[in-house]
Structure 1
Amino acid sequence: MTTRDGRLARGDRTRAAVLDTAVVLATKDGLDGLSLGQVAEALQISKSALFAHWRSKEELQLATIERAREQWLEQVISPALREPRGVRRLWALHQRRIAFYAGAVLPGGCFFATAEFEFNARPGPIRDRFAEILTDWLALIERLAREAIEVGELRPDTDPALLAYESEALGLAAVMQSRLIHAASVYDHALRSMRDRLRALSTDPDLIKEPS
């Protein structure tokens, strides 16, 4: 039993290392360019060792998407949700997103921005999964906006869906432009634009602090 548990633990560590590497590679070379051979070479392990976990390129791609989603939850969503319910939580979500990009966690900036552009015109399970994740992400921002309205921190006439769209547009523009032009100014603009928008909608603008 102990031997079997040890093998399972090693297998889990291998799987985690492979998927973390796959997320990084996909932001540089594209998710479509991701292959078992490419990941095996990056980790300096045999390609055959990976077949125990994924039997096809598509299986690896879908697993990589899920690992990127978990990373986003760990580093962006969960910390933001620890902020007080209302407009500060909504602001924290945007700040955490920009901080993730500015921290160069991934060499390509954002797994989802890169891969969604890559697959948005390709019907199939990968595109469908990206559509689900984007829908869930926008729904989260909308929910936080509705909560801020309910607690009286955003004006009652605030449109949660429009605010979610604006937040997503700012984040997407920031990560794409930051790869080509002066990143610090791009991130600053993304933060200040959202700050000004939230302050304009807030019943107490002082709840929204200056970007740090």
Structure 2
Amino acid sequence: MILGTACALARVNGLDGLTIGVLANAVGMSKSGVFAHFGSREDLQLAVLDTTAQRFVQQVIEPAALQPAGLPQLRAIVDRWFDWIRHERNGGGCLFTAAASEFDDQPGPVRAHLARQQARWRGYLSRVIDQAVSAGELAADTDPAQLAFEITGFAMVLHHDSGLFDYTEARMRGLRAFERLITPFIPPRNAR
């Protein structure tokens, strides 16, 4: 319950805005009671990143992994990832995208942990793309790391636009951009 509330607060106020005091007030506990669970603000922030990563795996990666390896799985990942970003459902959008902006120039354990998580995610996405290449669903000269980088850019724009404008339109544009990105890499026999 405490971590769930902490994750919700971090999505709205930012990971940097999450403090032991703010969390204690939100859950109706004393600061010392919350402190006993985490030990420090930094430990709380790290626990929020880990809890959010577990939820991301459950809501994005695991359901997408039920699709056949390769392009169907990549499309499912992008679809579910773009849904994950939805601001009105998540109350603040994607914590990882927001935290990357918050901590990109703040050296320390939280930034390092976030960077490791994001590197693992980008590596996973690259491996799924590589499976599509190996299956002949994407051209042999496809650069999985570059494609993963570009897809991540679409997710970042979606996060931005869904917070400022309309999520539905932003998501539609993001999915259209993703399809336009991969279409040149799809050999004619595998085109939809």
TM-score with structure 2 length normalisation?
0.94
Asked if the contact 1:31–1:115 (Cα under 8 Å) also holds between the matched residues in 2, the reply is yes
1:54 aligns with 2:38: yes
The one of 93, 96, 99 aligned to 2:77: 93
Structure 2 residue aligned with 1:142: 126
* Aligned equivalents of 2:39, 2:134: Cα separation in 1: 48
The one of 3, 9, 14 aligned to 1:25: 9
Following superposition, the deviation at residue 200 of structure 1 comes to 2.5
Structure 2 unmatched ranges of 5 or more: none
1:196 aligns with 2:180: yes
Cα distance change, pair 121–21 in 1 and its aligned pair in 2 (3 A): same
Asked if the contact 2:86–2:94 (Cα under 8 Å) also holds between the matched residues in 1, the reply is no
Asked if the contact 2:127–2:144 (Cα under 8 Å) also holds between the matched residues in 1, the reply is yes
The answer to which of 61-70 and 41-50 deviates more is: 41-50
1:84 aligns with 2:68: yes
Asked if the contact 1:24–1:107 (Cα under 8 Å) also holds between the matched residues in 2, the reply is yes
Q: Give the SS at the match of 1:143.
A: helix
Q: Trace 1:1-212 onto structure 2 (pairs within 5 A).
A: 17-102=1-86, 104-203=88-187, 204-206=190-192
Deviations 1:8-66 (A, max 9, x none): xxxxxxxxx11111111112111112112211211122333223311111111111111
Following superposition, the deviation at residue 141 of structure 1 comes to 1.0
Aligned length: 190
The answer to which of 52-61 and 120-129 deviates more is: 52-61
Cα distance change, pair 103–205 in 1 and its aligned pair in 2 (3 A): farther
Structure 1 unmatched ranges of 5 or more: 1-16, 207-212
- The amino acid across from 1:205 in the alignment is A
TM-score with structure 1 length normalisation?
0.85
Cα distance change, pair 27–145 in 1 and its aligned pair in 2 (3 A): same
Cα distance change, pair 78–103 in 1 and its aligned pair in 2 (3 A): farther
* Aligned equivalents of 1:92, 1:200: Cα separation in 2: 19
* Aligned equivalents of 1:175, 1:144: Cα separation in 2: 22
Q: Give the SS at the match of 1:166.
A: helix
Q: Give the SS at the match of 2:15.
A: coil
CA RMSD, Structure 1 to Structure 2 (Å): 1.3
Asked if the contact 1:87–1:202 (Cα under 8 Å) also holds between the matched residues in 2, the reply is no
The answer to which of 195-204 and 28-37 deviates more is: 195-204
Asked if the contact 1:86–1:147 (Cα under 8 Å) also holds between the matched residues in 2, the reply is yes
